[in-house]
Amino acid sequence: MTKETLMMRWVAEKQVRDPRVLQAFHEVPREKFVLPRWKRYAYEDSPLPTAKGQTISQPTTIMLMLDALEVHPGMKVLEIGTGSGYTCALLSHLVGPYGRVMSLELDPDLAKTAEKRLASMSPNVTILVRDGWEGLPESAPFDRIIVTAAAPSIPMALLDQLKDPGIIVIPVGPPEGQTGLKLKKEHNTYVQESFGQFLFVPLRKEEK
Ligand code: SAH
């Protein structure tokens, strides 16, 4: 598969509607975020292993999530689960030079590698070694929040840290499979819709 084939399929099947999400995918080199021996599979539509037993999400999965997130230039976005940093790079394009992306990662080694990869590419991204269950209260509220790990339930802290109006996109469910949920906060109420079934690595509870 090639980058172009993937993009044509998303458009033909009306899976990705936001042209800016397609543009971001076009511009970010996914091959830079996978381990060297997996580079030639960078544009297969499958998750790939990254260091420490974690994965970089399947391209279609991440596109569906970003399409649901409705990111506009200038927004402040929080991501939970930096992993390879690939989603950060896509978000960086979507928020543009006046926007900001904060991404939380529990594993310090993954955070460091992602930070190095993004240093020259995405100056508007900050990666922090923090527990995503707590969010990032000191930088709240966020226009958008995206969780790229499987949550058994929606962390309350994240709902508190979402702007009104705002959108959070999160895969919720057991480790065997999750439902992609999009919650729109408006006038302090939430409208929920689901957009497919996914398989993410778990959002871990930090050992204290
Ligand atoms: N968005 C990533 C894929 C994320 S995989 C990419 O583009 O590559 C999920 C990541 O969430 C893993 O790196 C894992 O270490 C991290 N993670 C798991 N539990 C977490 C928690 N409680 N807080 C922050 N990060 C967490």
| Averages of pLDDT over each 10 residues, the chain, 208 residues | 94 96 97 93 93 89 98 98 97 98 97 96 96 98 98 97 98 97 97 95 83
In the residue annotation, 153 being an active-site residue is answered as no
| Whole-model pTM over 0.85 | yes
Residue 100 CA, ligand 1 centroid: distance in Å = 19
Closest atom of ligand 1 relative to the 83 alpha carbon = 13
Per-residue pLDDT tens over the stretch 39-59 = 999 999 999 988 888 889 999
DSSP result, the chain: --HHHHHHHHHHTT----HHHHHHHHHS-GGGGS-GGGGGGTTSSS-EE-GGG-EEPPHHHHHHHHHHHT--TT-EEEEE--TTSHHHHHHHHHH-TT-EEEEEES-HHHHHHHHHHHTTT-TTEEEEE--GGG--GGG--EEEEEE-SBBSS--HHHHHTEEEEEEEEEEES-TT-EEEEEEEEETTEEEEEEEEEE---B-PPPP-
Residue 208 has a pLDDT of 61
What is the position in ligand 1's atom list of the atom closest to the CA of 87?
Answer: 7
Q: What is the pLDDT of residues 104-144, one digit of tens each?
A: 999 999 999 999 999 999 999 999 999 999 999 999 999 99
Ligand 1 pocket test, pick from 32, 105, 169 with the greatest ligand atom count within 8 Å of Cβ, gives 105
